Amino acid sequence: MAEITLDEAKKEAASLRKQLNEWAEAYYSKDAPEVEYNVYDQSSNRLLELEKEFPEIVTPDSITQRVGGQIDSDFTKVEHPIPMLSMGDVFSKAELKDFDQRMQKLVGHPVEYNVELKIDGLSLSLEYENGKLVRASTRGNGYVGEDVTANAKYISDIPQTLPEPLTTEVRGECYMGKEAFAKLNAEREEQGLVVFANPRNAAAGSLRQLDPKVTKKRQLSTFIYTWVNPPEEITSQHQAIQKMHDLGFHTNETGRKLKTLDEVFAFIDEYTAKRNSLTYGIDGIVLKIDDLGIEQELGNTVKVPRWEIAYKFPPEEQETVVRDIVWTVGRTGVVTPTAVMDPVQLAGTTVARASLHNPDYLNEKGIRIGDTVKLHKAGDIIPEISEVVMAKRSADSVAYQIPTTCPSCGQKLVHLEDEVALRCINPSCPAQVEEGLTHFASRPAINIAGLGPKIV
Residues 6+ apart with CB under 8 A from 141: 66, 67, 68, 69, 70, 71
Using DSSP's 3-state secondary structure scheme, residue 157 falls into coil
Using DSSP's 3-state secondary structure scheme, residue 361 falls into helix
- Decide if 280 contacts 119 (C-beta within 8 A): yes
Kindly list the distances between the CA atom of residue 295 and the CA atoms of 26, 107, 196, 288, 385, in Å, as whole numbers in the listed order.
33, 10, 36, 8, 41
Please tell me the distance from the alpha carbon of residue 371 to that of residue 341, in angstroms, as a whole number.
10
Residues 6+ apart with CB under 8 A from 46: 12, 16
Catalytic residue among 18, 52, 93, 118: 118
Please tell me the distance from the alpha carbon of residue 398 to that of residue 400, in angstroms, as a whole number.
6
- Decide if 121 contacts 380 (C-beta within 8 A): no
The reply to whether 118 belongs to the active site is yes
Count of residues in the chain: 456
Which residue in 19, 5, 22 sits closest to 56, CA to CA?
5
Kindly list the distances between the CA atom of residue 66 and the CA atoms of 55, 140, 273, 355, 431, in Å, as whole numbers in the listed order.
16, 11, 34, 36, 51
- Decide if 332 contacts 316 (C-beta within 8 A): no
| DSSP annotation of 97 | H
Instruction: Render the burial of 403-432: b for 16+ CB within 10 Å, e for the rest.
Output: eeebebeeeebeeeeebbbbbbebeebebb
Roughly how many angstroms between the first and final C-alpha of the chain, as a whole number? Answer: 63
Kindly list the distances between the CA atom of residue 106 and the CA atoms of 81, 97, 236, in Å, as whole numbers in the listed order.
27, 14, 18
| DSSP annotation of 421 | S
Catalytic residue positions?
Answer: 118
